Amino acid sequence: MSGRWALGALIAAAACGGGGSQSSSQNVKIPDKTASGTLQIWGFGDDNVTAKSRLDAFKAAYPNVKIELTPGSLDPQKFLSAVAAGSPPDLVNLNRAKLSTYANRNALTPLDDYFSAAKLDTSQFRSAAMKPLQVNGKTYGVPEFNNVIVAYVNNKALKEAGAQLSDVDFSNWQKLSDLNRKLSKVGPDGKPQRVGIDPKLPEFTPLWVYGNNGKIISDDGKKALLDSKQTIDAVSYAAGLRDGYGGQQAYDAYSQTWDIFGKGNPIAADQIGVTLFEQWWLATIGKVSPNADFSIVPFKARNGKELTYADGNSWAVPKGSKNAGLATAFMKFMTDPDTWVLSAKANVASLRGGVFTGIYTANTKADKRIFDEVYKPSSKASFDDAVKVFQRIQDEAVTLPPSAAGNEVVQDYTDAVRNVLLRRQPADAAMRAGNQKIQAALTNPG
């Protein structure tokens, strides 16, 4: 009899348990626009038009919600301490590449149930943007911005070297090396006067590696793959481009003087022939050098296919957030196509003689509407052609898979590539050493 009771109790418990998990998404409540309360947000400021216009729109839609912002990059020390103390903010905005490190340590709330309750369609976001937010089968964030890498070509330098835009071909390493020689200028004192082709190592190592069919870590984020032949060849080749203008130390000394954000930026000042750079730089050039003569060329993998690497930010809800429902409503609102369109219009209205080059939101629907409804070609070929390239390659992006040791992976491949650039180690030895460190970090992330 007691056995039957025990069995019955077990079945009842199982049923309750099942019901609990089933109802967990039903129990999640997403407040409507009459909601009131305070939303504490860390890692997000309203010091730019794109952020402020969206924030103002949210405040207008949710008039009884008070927003408290802590601007600047999310401070990991402060954030983890707050989570550990049980008093985290309601919502954080952080770099996507860092999210898995926190998610693997249970510092963030899985959001699948909240997204279901809020009817937030995650399929509208670009897959490369969603990938770093999906950790161990759960979704931990909503992406915003899809920042891709392209090559900026200084047309003046290209003409001077007697080269064509078609010579900027990252799939053909021999051709690229020839172009690097033609574009590079070194003074009689041995100091570079123009960098021919800047491979942007060690920052953009993953792009070169993926372009040569290699990987930094496996897709499941558990195995280091830095010592593969493809990776070694890619790093060895890209690092060698620096020899065309005096080597790494000469490059460092020269590049430390560049004014990336000003009128004397390296394109306008003829300090660079070709450089890989993030797409956001176009907006900067559009503001400070609207008459700059440049072209945008996509990076190409060795097989000739266009390729880029994407990063950006994401919204995430800390573990212990007291307002996860309202935070979800906020995330949904801020990444909604309507809000992005409004923000794009605010950007256009705020331009003072600059060029609007679009907003790349990581949301496919929002991007389409921005370019259908707001964007207008500037009649400046450099910018208009660039925008076409950006739109074309948004979905050709790769990104590092999420792992428990995201920061260490980046630091370890950076150190390894740096050793190659400084000629301290040959590429194969440096990559093997880096691979061991990455594997140790992935195996034992704690």
Partner 1 sequence: MLSPWIFGFLIFTLGPMIVSLALSFTRYDVINPPEFIGFKNWALLFSDPLLLKSLQNTFFFAALHVPFAIAIALALALLLDQISRGAGLFRTVFYLPSITRAVATGILWLWLLNPQVGIVNQFLHLLHIPGPGWTTDPNWIKPGIVLMSLWGLGNTVVIYFAALRQVPNELYEAARVDGAKPWAQFFRITVPMISGTLFYTLVINTIFALQYFTEVYTMFFRGQESGVSEDALFYVIYLFRQSFEYFHMGYASAMAWLLFAIIVVVTLVQVGFSRKFVYYEGAS
Nearest to 98, CA basis, from 43, 50, 46, 55 = 43
Give the binding range for partner 1 (CB under 8 A) out of 13-21, 72-80, 130-138, 274-282.
72-80
Q: Do residues 202 and 398 touch, judged by C-beta distance below 8 A?
A: no
CA 400-401-403 angle, 5° bins: 115
- Indicate whether 76 belongs to the interface with partner 1 (CB under 8 A): yes
Structure token digits, residue 163: 């080269």
- Indicate whether 203 belongs to the interface with partner 1 (CB under 8 A): yes
CA 108-112-118 angle, 5° bins: 110
- Indicate whether 443 belongs to the interface with partner 1 (CB under 8 A): no
What is the chain's length? 446
| Identified binder of partner 1 from the candidate list 2, 21, 77, 174, rule CB under 8 A | 77
Please tell me whether residue 197 adopts helix, strand or coil conformation. Answer: strand
| Identified binder of partner 1 from the candidate list 94, 316, 405, 431, rule CB under 8 A | 405
* Nearest CB to partner 1, comparing residues 177 and 411: 411
Please tell me whether residue 395 adopts helix, strand or coil conformation. Answer: helix
Nearest to 282, CA basis, from 165, 372, 387, 352 = 387
- Indicate whether 202 belongs to the interface with partner 1 (CB under 8 A): yes
Structure token digits, residue 378: 């500037």
| Identified binder of partner 1 from the candidate list 28, 39, 55, 83, rule CB under 8 A | 83
Q: From the CB of 74, what's the least distance to partner 1, in Å?
A: 12
- 315-354 positions binding partner 1, by CB under 8 A: 319
Give the binding range for partner 1 (CB under 8 A) out of 16-24, 102-110, 169-177, 294-302.
102-110
Buried/exposed code over 131-150 (b: 16+ C-beta within 10 A; e: otherwise): bbbbbeeebbbbbbbbbbbb
| Identified binder of partner 1 from the candidate list 35, 288, 346, 422, rule CB under 8 A | 422
Give the binding range for partner 1 (CB under 8 A) out of 59-67, 129-137, 221-229, 413-421.
413-421
Distance from C-alpha of 20 to C-alpha of 356, rounded to nearest angstrom: 50
Q: From the CB of 418, what's the least distance to partner 1, in Å?
A: 4
Give the binding range for partner 1 (CB under 8 A) out of 62-70, 275-283, 324-332, 404-412.
404-412
**């199982």: which residue's tokens?**
14
- The size of the interface with partner 1 (CB under 8 A), counted in residues, is 35
Q: Report H helices in 125-259.
A: 127-130, 155-160, 173-183, 205-211, 229-240, 248-255
- 255-314 positions binding partner 1, by CB under 8 A: 256-257
Distance from C-alpha of 347 to C-alpha of 359, rounded to nearest angstrom: 9
Dihedral sign, CA of 52, 57, 63, 65? Answer: negative
**């060849």: which residue's tokens?**
233
Q: From the CB of 122, what's the least distance to partner 1, in Å?
A: 25
Distance from C-alpha of 216 to C-alpha of 314, rounded to nearest angstrom: 22
Mask: binding to partner 1, 13-52, rule CB under 8 A, as x and -? ----------------------------------------
Nearest to 24, CA basis, from 141, 131, 109, 142 = 109
| Identified binder of partner 1 from the candidate list 67, 80, 186, 288, rule CB under 8 A | 80
Mask: binding to partner 1, 166-195, rule CB under 8 A, as x and -? -------------------------x----
Give the binding range for partner 1 (CB under 8 A) out of 2-10, 228-236, 247-255, 285-293.
247-255
* Nearest CB to partner 1, comparing residues 76 and 240: 76
Give the binding range for partner 1 (CB under 8 A) out of 80-88, 131-139, 287-295, 390-398.
80-88
Point out which residues bind partner 1 (CB under 8 A).
Answer: 76-77, 80-81, 83-84, 101, 105-107, 191, 202-203, 248-250, 252-254, 256-257, 319, 405, 407-408, 410-411, 414-415, 418-419, 422, 424, 441, 446
